[in-house]
Amino acid sequence: MSTTDMQLRVGMVGYAFMGAAHSQAWRTVNRVYDLPARARMALICGRDAGNVAEAADRLGWDAYTTDWRDLVSRDDIDVVDVCTPGDSHAEIALAALAAGKHVLCEKPLANTVEEARAMAAAAATARASGVRSMCGFNYRRVPAVAMMRRLVADGRLGVIRHVRAAYLQDWIVDPQFPLVWRLQKDRAGSGALGDIGAHIIDLTQYVTGQRITGVSAVTETFVKERPLPAGSSGLAATVDGSVDGHADGAGPATGPVTVDDAALFVARLDGGALATYEASRFATGRKNALRVEINGSLGSVVFDLERLNELEFYDATLPTAEQGFSRILVTEGDHPYMSAWWPPGHIIGYEHSFTHQMRDFIEAIATGTDSEPSFADALQVQLVLDAVVRSAELGSSWTDVEPALTAVAV
């Protein structure tokens, strides 16, 4: 139970895959953590009145609307949670910040660097008035990832030399899978690069404390034409629990895929480390396989999302006879985020990362502290995505990552 009567009335735009994940977190966070404010699920927004009404009832929202502008302008909304496709992130977030609302925006922050710069600048301006903003890179909130960062920050790995990251899925391997919005550049901004590549860019920079300064990249679109969908919305649950695109089938017409199916790049980090990144939605058999390995002068650490309660840790400072990768089960009460959950050894899952995200955002708002990752942090990820695209277009030539403007630092 919260120790204060402070209430944050949340309005969320979007109700599909991310909307459901965020809703579960908003429902749960105050029931798990003792926080300085209580979240109230006040209003949910979607374009279709029937579907959003059903979603409001199913997901636990007090009321619904079909107009996000109505949601943003209302005096009884304190927080705006943006869970829409990337083409609407900037418009909604900018309007919400201008209206004095705290904003949580899903990743990637925007579809273009220009939009992301505008959002970061608006967030910096709003911050001066006590308005907080955060980008939803939820994997930062996996306890094992936060523990990984702690090991690096404490010097347990020594000087970081290698970063190795891959995020692999296979949900569009079938060439008959419909042309959903995630496969259209005007809606999604990019394909595997922005959808899942953004996660490993943010995660590795967060864990190492180093930023990517330059890249050499290749991208590929393996299936260039797909059947037009008969009413689907990407990797999103429908009201009956099926996945859009599969449930509705595909029409006879086809359209062009305008995003990448896979992106690979090498990179340099500003602390001297070398890095490799791979993001693909064509890795047959891989459903949601995110893996990161960090090698340092004193040791190594490995995280695998499919074993998200664990880390593999190699301590090179031990006597040779005792060296080897050891398994750390990240479920102890003194591990990040775990004090409010279950006894040691009782594992948690994917959805808990969103609960931890809401916990951190509520605390930042209630205490007037900066939330991370900020829109400025997310802009920096957007600049890396842009550099990858430009490098691939120039035949994998080495491409520097443009610096974020210091004027928008949050």
Q: What is the pLDDT of residues 166-177, one digit of tens each?
A: 999 999 999 999
Q: What is the pLDDT of residue 4?
A: 57
Both tokens assigned to 405: 């403007």
Average pLDDT estimate for 147-157 = 98
Instruction: Provide, for the chain, the percentages of residues in helix, strand and coil under a 3-state DSSP scheme, each rounded to the nearest 5.
Output: 35, 25, 40
Burial pattern 237-252, b for ≥16 Cβ within 10 A else e, equals: bbeeeebbbeebebee
Average pLDDT over residues 46-60: 97
Q: How far apart are CA 332 and CA 167, in angstroms?
A: 27
pLDDT category of residue 5 using cuts at 50, 70 and 90: confident
Average pLDDT over the chain, rounded to whole?
A: 93
The pLDDT tens digits of the residues spanning 305-354 come to 999 999 999 999 999 999 999 999 999 999 999 999 999 999 999 999 99
pTM of the model: 0.93
Using 50, 70 and 90 to split pLDDT, how confident is the model at 356?
Answer: very high
Reduced to 3 states, what is the DSSP secondary structure of residue 228? Answer: strand
Strand partners, 7: 38
Indicate the pLDDT class of residue 231, thresholds 50, 70 and 90: low
**Which residue has tokens 């569009």?**
172
pLDDT in tens, 88-135: 999 999 999 999 999 999 999 999 999 999 999 999 999 999 999 999
- Please report which confidence band the pLDDT of residue 159 belongs to, taking 50, 70 and 90 as the band edges: very high
- Given this model, what pLDDT does residue 204 score? 98
pLDDT, mean of residues 224-239: 65
pLDDT score at 241: 32
Where is pLDDT greater, at 406 or 200? 200
The DSSP symbol for 15 reads -
Partner residues linked to 275 by β-bridges: 163, 267
pLDDT category of residue 410 using cuts at 50, 70 and 90: very low
Across residues 340-369, what is the average pLDDT?
97
**Closest Cα to residue 218, out of 342, 402, 47, 389?**
389
Per-residue pLDDT tens over the stretch 390-403: 999 999 999 999 99
Cα distance between residue 152 and residue 315, in whole Å: 12
The whole-angstrom separation of Cα 168 and Cα 177 is 18
Q: Which residues contact 110 (CB under 8 A, 6 or more apart)?
A: 86, 89, 90, 116, 119, 189, 382
Report the DSSP pairing between strands 310-315 and 299-304: antiparallel
Would you mind telling me the total number of residues written for the chain in this entry? Answer: 410
What SS3 class is residue 21?
helix
pLDDT at 92 (0 to 100): 98
Q: How confident is the model at residue 247 (pLDDT cuts 50, 70, 90)?
A: very low
What's the confidence (pLDDT) of residue 230?
79
Q: Among residues of the chain, what percentage have pLDDT more than 90?
A: 91
Q: How many angstroms separate the CA atoms of 43 and 46, rounded? A: 10
